[in-house]
Structure formats: structure tokens, C-alpha cells
């Protein structure tokens, strides 16, 4: 029986300077460590990669520190609108949702789109009708409010500013999109990404996180990927699929392919990704000041980090 597994997680890339307050650093590292430990135990016990990455993202969605589920950023209108996607490396089955406003665990709804519908991508009202049919409990929008995200939004409320405006001071606001990718002991890969998107986003803007091939991708023949950063650039460059394509068609290693896309294809300061391949190798490159991330393997690697 095979015993090799690898889990990589991220809690967002962005302008996270090494000078952030010690207590903030500690809070994030502790949260990452706890979530990584939880996922590591699941994989160790033989849980599938698919179920593990969903459950790991549920933990992130419950944690107010990260920009997904409970800690989602505020939109231009002062609400919350979440996006998520999941992909199964065994068969390229996938599910995605966008514009989710009242579901606690958008990643689980994406998983249900994959498993319990004939579609792969559902939007807003329709996605929530589907959730209702499946018996999901609905949260009040207030549930997703957090003090920190409210303050971030207040600074730009009423303006057109988002983190996409590089000249604005606001570009440096903490991010926090999350993702998890894994290889399980059965030799299967899976990937997930979940987000509240960009603070002050307008007109039902959708980023890369729910877009298969940009924010999320998994195929047992190559790797599993979850992206984080400026979604528009990840969509234009089809980032997650590009890593897969470089491995498949050019024979690059996971490290070479993922570093090429982050450092050569994307402009500096745009974001990062986490990747695990079919042999259990991992790569966590980013081109921003920092990225909240972690990795655990069956060989005993267990680390969380923001820089390096
Ligand atoms: N990629 C996400 C988006 O554009 C944001 C992030 O990763 O911080 O919605």
C-alpha cells in the first residue's frame, strides 16, 4: 500500500511586509499551523485528497483572519460576495460558485455543484437556490462582518479604489484568499480555492478563484494548483493551467513550471500559488512581499511561513 502524501495550504499573497506587528504574525502562523495539522492528520489516516482539501478550506472559512467565509471582505455596497472552486485530479471533475452571499462554506457548495448537479459553475441567486434544494442552512449577511474588514472597507467606501489600483496605499491592504492542494496516499490529487474577492469590488466583479484553469486546477497526470493574488492577471494568464501545460507539454518539473509562471509570466507584485505534483513534490512560489502558506508531507515536513 502507498503511504506517500503531501498537503499545501495558502492564506493569501500580497503586500505583507516583514514589519507587520508581532501579534498579527503570531496569530496568522498559529492559525495556519492548526489548519495544516488538521489536514495532515486527515491525509495520514487515508482520507482522500478531495475530501481533505474541502475540509481544510472549511476551517479557513470559519476563521475570521482569512478573506473567505466568515472573514470575507466588504463589497462596494457594503455586503459580502464569495467565490470558490474545487477540482478532482482523478477525472477533471470540477465545481465552482460565484456571488455567494449567505452560505457559510462556499467550498462545500462548489463541491456539491461538482457532485450533485450536471453543471460545473453556478452564480449568485441560482447557486443559492441549488443550495436550498440540498438543505443548506443560510446565514444572515451580518455573520460575515468582521471589524478588521469593515475598517479596511471604510477607508475606501464610496470611492472606486480597490487593491487593483497599484498607486493607492490601499493596494497594501491584507489579503487572505485561501486554498489547499493535496496528493493522497491513493495517488490522487485535488485542489480548492475560496475567497471573498477584493475589498470594495463593484458590479459583481469575479476574480480568478472560482475559475477553473486560472485559480484552481488538478489533474492526476501532472499537479494540483491553487492561486492567490490579483485575479484579473491570473485570469489573463490562465495561471493554474499554464503550470500543468508546462509540465505536460514541455516536461518541466513542478518547481520549474510554477516558478516560471510566477516569476516570468506574471508581473512582480501580482501574487503566488501553491502546487503539489503526482510524486508528492511541492512548490509555493510568490512574487509579492509575502504569502501566508504551509506544507506537510508524509516524510515529516511540516512548516508554515509568510516570507522566504
Ligand atoms: N485572487 C483573488 C481575487 O482576485 C484575491 C486574492 O487572492 O487575494 O478575487
pTM for this prediction: 0.96
What's the rounded Cα separation, in Å, for the pair 223 and 87? 11
The per-residue pLDDT for 22 is 93
Evaluate if residue 258 carries a pLDDT over 90.
Answer: yes
The per-residue pLDDT for 169 is 52
Tell me the CA–centroid distance for residue 170 and ligand 1, in Å.
15
Phi, psi of 293 (to 5 degrees): -160, 170
Which candidate, 180, 184, 182, places its Cα nearest to that of 44? 184
The minimum-distance atom of ligand 1 relative to the CA of 201 is: 9
Per-residue model confidence as pLDDT tens digits over 128-148: 999 999 999 999 999 999 998
Assign 43 a pLDDT band (cuts: 50, 70, 90). Answer: very high
What's the rounded Cα separation, in Å, for the pair 2 and 46? 10
What's the rounded Cα separation, in Å, for the pair 258 and 73? 28
What residues act catalytically? 177
Tell me the CA–centroid distance for residue 60 and ligand 1, in Å.
15
The minimum-distance atom of ligand 1 relative to the CA of 198 is: 9
Share of the chain above pLDDT 90, in %: 87
The per-residue pLDDT for 152 is 87
SS3 158: coil
pLDDT, average across residues 76-88 = 97
Phi, psi of 220 (to 5 degrees): -55, -20
11 Cβ below 6 A of ligand 1: no
Domain boundaries, the chain: 6-86+141-305
Q: Do the Cβ atoms of 300 and 19 come closer than 8 Å?
A: no
Buried b (16+ CB within 10 A) or exposed e, 294-308: bbbbbeeeeebebee
Q: Which three cell numbers stand for residue 120?
A: 460545473
The residue ranking higher by pLDDT, 217 or 20, is 217
Tell me the CA–centroid distance for residue 4 and ligand 1, in Å.
31
Tell me the CA–centroid distance for residue 221 and ligand 1, in Å.
27
Q: Which three cell numbers stand for residue 14?
A: 500580497
The minimum-distance atom of ligand 1 relative to the CA of 175 is: 8
In this structure, whether the domain defined by 6-86+141-305 belongs to CATH 1.20.1050.10 is answered with no
Residue located nearest, by CA, to atom 9 of ligand 1: 197
272 Cβ below 6 A of ligand 1: no
Q: Which three cell numbers stand for residue 134?
A: 440540498
Q: Which residues neighbour 1 within 8 Å (Cβ) at sequence distance 6 or greater? A: 185
Which candidate, 240, 287, 294, places its Cα nearest to that of 268? 287
Amino acid at each position: 500500500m502507498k503511504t506517500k502524501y503531501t498537503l499545501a495550504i495558502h492564506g493569501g499573497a500580497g503586500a505583507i511586509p516583514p514589519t507587520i506587528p508581532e501579534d498579527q504574525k503570531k496569530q496568522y502562523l498559529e492559525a495556519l499551523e492548526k489548519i495544516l495539522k488538521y489536514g495532515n492528520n486527515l491525509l495520514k489516516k487515508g482520507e482522500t485528497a478531495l475530501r481533505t482539501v474541502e475540509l481544510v478550506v472549511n476551517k479557513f472559512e470559519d476563521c475570521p483572519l482569512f478573506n473567505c467565509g466568515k472573514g470575507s471582505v466588504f463589497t462596494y455596497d457594503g455586503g459580502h460576495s464569495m467565490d470558490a472552486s474545487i477540482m478532482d485530479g482523478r477525472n477533471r471533475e470540477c465545481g465552482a460558485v460565484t456571488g455567494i452571499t449567505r452560505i457559510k462554506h462556499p467550498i462545500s457548495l462548489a463541491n456539491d455543484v461538482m457532485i450533485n448537479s450536471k453543471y460545473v459553475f453556478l452564480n449568485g441567486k441560482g447557486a443559492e437556490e441549488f443550495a436550498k434544494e440540498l438543505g443548506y442552512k443560510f446565514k444572515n449577511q451580518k455573520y460575515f462582518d468582521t471589524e478588521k474588514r469593515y475598517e479596511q472597507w471604510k477607508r475606501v467606501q464610496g470611492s472606486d479604489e480597490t487593491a487593483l489600483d497599484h498607486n493607492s496605499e490601499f493596494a497594501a491592504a491584507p489579503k487572505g484568499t485561501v486554498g489547499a492542494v493535496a496528493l493522497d496516499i491513493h495517488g490522487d490529487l485535488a485542489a480548492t480555492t475560496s475567497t471573498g474577492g477584493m475589498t470594495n469590488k463593484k458590479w459583481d466583479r469575479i476574480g480568478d478563484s472560482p475559475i477553473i484553469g486560472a485559480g484552481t486546477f488538478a489533474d492526476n497526470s501532472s499537479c494540483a494548483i491553487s492561486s492567490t493574488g490579483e485575479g484579473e492577471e491570473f485570469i489573463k494568464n490562465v495561471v493554474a493551467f499554464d503550470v500543468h501545460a508546462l509540465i505536460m507539454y514541455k516536461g518541466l518539473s513542478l518547481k520549474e513550471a510554477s516558478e516560471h509562471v510566477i516569476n516570468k509570466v506574471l508581473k512582480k507584485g501580482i501574487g503566488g500559488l501553491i502546487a503539489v505534483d503526482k510524486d508528492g513534490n511541492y512548490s509555493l512560489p510568490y512574487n509579492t512581499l509575502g504569502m501566508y502558506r504551509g506544507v506537510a508531507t508524509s516524510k515529516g515536513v511540516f512548516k508554515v511561513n509568510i516570507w522566504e
